[in-house]
């Protein structure tokens, strides 16, 4: 099974920049999008029809505020159960989470909050990390395996961004943000990309300012955190940094079917 995550920075804009053609060329079994900033009725009907032909199951969780946040999952692997949110209205009103329960795991598509340029949203962001981890702890305690994917809005280690020293006081690389990635890893998760490629330098997000992408000045903030026992089935994590259309690039997890080597 292939699961791809992509913060599209506005689905309507991404569709005009070739997202549909990219999907049609080699569609993953599940496509998790963040920051869609649109409701399905706002999309071009022809584009939505073409997506529906590839993906019979499409799940939306838009934010209450128009043109803000929002996540969607497109899949041709029907889930046993699906839902939106993490049971906390102050987070769920922003359309940040969709979950799908499959026979062997539960998949979460997540758009983590940004801390804000003036750091005014950092407490909200940290509270979101904490509440989600409580949800995951409960699922792990029940014997469930989990895949967390999406835009985490945090670079974990210095290797995960081009200019760590210059960003020590900026949201996305604050110590109090980074420690939450550690806490997830301490609670039974594996950063599958970093486990497979401990020394590889690749990024998943680049600011639009000063041609950062072409100059290789980026951050790795889009992840697959996978339960340790499920990580054994992970075959690869591919950062598709050559795919354009957003300030983020897609990241794909390749996982064997249960019981396959």
List residues with catalytic annotation.
151
Residue tagged 């604050």 (tokens): 174
Phi-psi category of residue 214: left, alpha or beta, with phi > 0 → left and psi -120 to 50 → alpha: alpha
Strands 189-191 and 234-239: unpaired
Q: Give which of 78, 34, 90 is closest to 204, Cα–Cα.
A: 34
d(CA 64, CA 39): 10
In terms of Cβ atoms closer than 10 Å to its own Cβ (0-12, 13-18, 19+), residue 27 is: middle
Q: Which two tokens stand for residue 239?
A: 């950062």
Task: Copy the structure tokens of residue 186.
Answer: 């301490």
How crowded is the C-beta side of 87, counted as CA atoms within 13 Å? 8
C-alpha to C-alpha distance for 233 and 211, rounded to whole angstroms: 38
For strands 2-7 and 30-34, give the pairing: parallel
Chain center to CA of 63: 16
Say how far residue 34 (Cα) sits from the centre of its chain: 7
57-to-15, 84, 101, 124 alpha-carbon distances in Å: 19, 14, 13, 31
Between CA 43 and CA 49 the distance in angstroms is 10
Q: Could you count the other beta carbons within 10 Å of the beta carbon of residue 244? A: 14
């Amino acid at each position: 099974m292939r699961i791809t995550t992509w913060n599209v920075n506005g689905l309507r804009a991404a569709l005009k920049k070739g997202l549909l053609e990219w999907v049609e060329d080699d569609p993953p079994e599940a496509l998790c999008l963040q920051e869609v900033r649109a409701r399905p009725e706002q999309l071009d009907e022809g584009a939505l029809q073409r997506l529906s032909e590839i993906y019979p199951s499409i799940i939306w969780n838009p934010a209450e505020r128009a043109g803000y946040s929002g996540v969607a999952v497109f899949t041709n692997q029907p889930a046993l159960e699906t839902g939106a949110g993490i049971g906390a209205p102050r987070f769920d009103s922003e359309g940040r989470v969709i979950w799908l329960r499959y026979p062997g795991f539960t998949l979460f598509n997540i758009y983590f909050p940004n801390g804000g340029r003036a750091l005014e949203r950092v407490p909200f962001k940290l509270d979101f990390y904490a509440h989600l981890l409580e949800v995951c702890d409960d699922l792990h305690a029940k014997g469930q395996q989990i895949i967390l994917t999406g835009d985490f809005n945090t670079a974990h280690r210095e290797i995960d961004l081009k200019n760590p020293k210059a960003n020590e006081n900026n949201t996305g690389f604050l110590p109090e943000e980074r420690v939450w990635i550690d806490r997830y890893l301490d609670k039974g998760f594996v950063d599958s990309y970093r486990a497979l490629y401990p020394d590889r330098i690749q990024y998943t997000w680049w600011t639009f300012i000063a041609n950062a992408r072409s100059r290789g000045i980026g951050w790795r903030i889009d992840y697959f955190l996978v339960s340790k026992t499920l990580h054994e089935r992970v075959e690869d994590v591919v950062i598709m940094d050559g795919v354009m259309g957003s300030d983020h690039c897609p990241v794909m997890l390749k996982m064997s079917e249960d019981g396959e080597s």
